[in-house]
Amino acid sequence: MIQLQDVRKDYGDEVSIGPVDLAIPRGGITALVGPNGAGKSTLLTMVGRLLGLDGGTISIGGHDVARTPSKALAKVVSVLRQENHFVTRLTVRQLVGFGRFPHSKGRLTVDDEARISEAIDFLDLGALEGRYLDELSGGQRQRAYVAMVLAQETDYVLLDEPLNNLDMRHSVQMMQHLRRAAEELDRTIVVVLHDINFAGRYADRICAVKDGRVVEFGTPAEILRDDVLSAVFETPVRVIEGPDGPLAVYY
Amino acid sequence: MLAGTTATGAAATEAEGRASGPFPTARARRRYRLVVAGLVAVAALIALGLLAWDNPMPLGSDGFWRIAELRITSLVVMAVVAVAQGVATVAFQTAAGNRILTPSILGFEALYVAVQTSAVYFLGAAGISAVQGVPQFLLQVALMMGLATALFGWLLRGRRGSVHVMLLVGIVIGGGLGSVSAFMQRLLTPSEFDVLSARLFGSVANADAAYLPFAVPLVALGAVVLWLRSRRLDALALGRDVATGLGVDHRRETMLVLLLVSLLIAVSTALVGPMVFLGFLVATLAYQLSGTYDHRRILPVAALLGFVVLGGASFVMRHVFSAEGVVSIIIELVGGTVFLLVLLRKGRL
């Protein structure tokens, strides 16, 4: 379980995040949604200890994020941000191999190699594993990053907008991969999403963030409602019944 | 977990030899071995050439070794500078997450120039000897380390501290020191300026053999510690966020790397003077030649390349142009050309 208590982050006098109190249960996919600048990514990066808190506490699976050594935390939670630019040139397999760093400190064992192969196969990257990252399309590269965090074998996986810059087909594939990771690998996945319909279709829980606060938290059925979405996104949203559940229409 | 794919994954690992490693293919691994072997051979040839070429006594005779002994000092100096500049630049570029920077951006060269210039300015031409000697050498190293530590400590510990802000402040301090030096140089008499300018070109001839008992262990210490931390450097090269996610204490690790880098560059600069381009050239070529992300393999290549470039340039200057002492000029000329060629051919750094 991920527990946020009274979490605050201040950016000057005008802008601040929180105080946020939130408990994300173990298992499944939790989607963070909300308008631009609401603080979704900030919350996620604070949970993933990439950003310090200005107040409150965050604990992941019982580990206090601020006090647990980064090394120990890397075996509990993995985090991936939107933009990743490396100065080094890596192949897909080398990148995924870095996911084992918290466990093997760079000395890969036979067991590590097997787990790297598993993560690569899990995301259908087998044929691409020898290719350099700069030779891949955006969608393939994104999958390679996700394979790296899966190879880290942490109970909790935090992803900041993994669908960013992906077309329809790749977005759907990515969400299906995440769904399988949650179910088959028993990972707890927290993901920032822009498209409310992806959240509605693939997430188990949706957390709506607005002006730095959590305004709604519930199942897709509870969140995908005209009044709730219109209030969160400050734009008229109608929810209609689609072939696979509710669909938000806002065009 | 993943029972089904575990079996197939393990089988595939055996069947296809699916393995990670510093090199993507067996060919890349062979190429790396060839590169290292070639560099060692060239380095040995250059060392031999510097010792034996133009040595009037027959090879191996008693007199030959007496003359060679006199030249060994400059050979050791070159090795020290090569290791220091090569290793420090690679580690610095990794810590800064940028491959077009050199550690001189932190203001070491500017500080060295300022110290030398003020010595001549305040004490006259005789002043240049006032900044020579073992205590003065160690003092200069300490001064440069002090500047660097203040810079890192102040900026990286601060709330909004970042490597980039730190580098910018380094540039500003370097620029300021450079202007002060330039101003003092204008006020020197021509003869004083002449004495000074000889010191401001990076040159192996600047080094005093008496510095070596201190310079060698200091550089060895810095280079070995950095090499031992190679695996963390590999992770550091993925950037702050990814490295932190993998459990590397990014701030602490960056500080440590920068401190070791400043030790190496401070010793090298105090020993032979500014060598702005050497480290940059050597690091860029080392990435190309080693073809891996693995610092355990890049760092030795960088050190070897440093020796080949420095030694080769000295050899050419001494025996072809009979103009010893201006090695840095040929390094910048040839090095710059090679660098541009590599960049144009490969299209990336």
Enter the tokens of residue A244: 């696979």
Write the pLDDT tens digit of every residue in A158-212: 999 999 888 898 899 999 999 999 999 999 999 999 899 999 999 999 999 998 8
Instruction: For B93, name the nearest residue in chain A, comparing CA atoms only.
Output: A87
Say if residue A107's pLDDT is above 60.
yes
Query: Chain A residues with CB inside 8 Å of B98's CB?
Result: 87
Total beta-carbon pairs less than 8 A apart between chain A and chain B: 118
Asked if the Cβ–Cβ distance from B2 to A101 is below 8 Å, we say: no
Output the pLDDT for position B85: 94
Output the pLDDT for position B305: 94
Count of CB atoms within 10 A of residue B125's CB? 16
Instruction: For B12, name the nearest residue in chain A, comparing CA atoms only.
Output: A117
Output the pLDDT for position B168: 84
Query: ipTM, 2 decimals?
Result: 0.91
Asked if the Cβ–Cβ distance from B235 to A50 is below 8 Å, we say: no
Instruction: For B239, name the nearest residue in chain A, comparing CA atoms only.
Output: A86
Query: Mutate which of A67, A98, A133 to disrupt the B interface (most B C-beta within 10 Å)?
Result: A98
Give the integer Cα–Cα distance in Å for B283 and B301: 9
**For A51, phi and psi rounded to 5 degrees?**
-135, 135
Asked if the Cβ–Cβ distance from B246 to A49 is below 8 Å, we say: no
Tens place of pLDDT for every residue, chain B, 349 residues?
444 444 444 444 444 468 888 888 888 899 999 999 999 999 999 998 888 877 777 777 777 777 777 788 889 999 999 999 999 999 999 988 888 888 887 888 888 888 889 888 888 878 778 878 888 889 989 988 888 888 777 766 666 667 778 788 888 888 999 999 999 999 988 888 888 887 787 777 777 888 899 999 999 999 999 999 999 999 999 988 999 999 998 888 988 998 999 999 989 988 888 887 888 889 988 998 898 999 999 999 999 999 999 998 888 888 777 766 667 777 877 777 877 887 787 666 6
Output the pLDDT for position A245: 83
Query: Chain B residues with CB inside 8 Å of A45's CB?
Result: 241
Asked if the Cβ–Cβ distance from A130 to B24 is below 8 Å, we say: yes
Q: What predicted TM-score, i.e. pTM, was given to this entire model? A: 0.89
**Helical pair B3-16 and A110-122, crossing angle rounded to 10 deg:** 110
Asked if the Cβ–Cβ distance from A49 to B99 is below 8 Å, we say: no
Mean pLDDT in residue range A53-70: 91
In terms of residues, how long is chain B? 349
Output the pLDDT for position B349: 60
Nearest residue, CB atoms, B20 vs list A78, A86, A94: A94
B158 CB within 8 Å of a chain A CB: no
Give the integer Cα–Cα distance in Å for B312 and B349: 24
Asked if the Cβ–Cβ distance from A93 to B6 is below 8 Å, we say: no
Asked if the Cβ–Cβ distance from B6 to A105 is below 8 Å, we say: no
Q: At B22, is the secondary structure helix, strand, or coil? A: coil
Give the integer Cα–Cα distance in Å for A220 and A235: 19
Asked if the Cβ–Cβ distance from A116 to B20 is below 8 Å, we say: yes
Query: Mutate which of B6, B18, B231 to disrupt the A interface (most A C-beta within 10 Å)?
Result: B18
B247 CB within 8 Å of a chain A CB: yes
Give the integer Cα–Cα distance in Å for B212 and B267: 10
B340 CB within 8 Å of a chain A CB: no
Asked if the Cβ–Cβ distance from A114 to B6 is below 8 Å, we say: yes
> B311 and B278 in contact (C-beta within 8 Å)?
no
Strands A29-33 and A205-210: parallel
Query: Chain A residues with CB inside 8 Å of B6's CB?
Result: 114, 118
For every residue of B54-65, DSSP letters joined together read: T-SSPTTSHHHH
Write the pLDDT tens digit of every residue in B325-339: 667 777 877 777 877
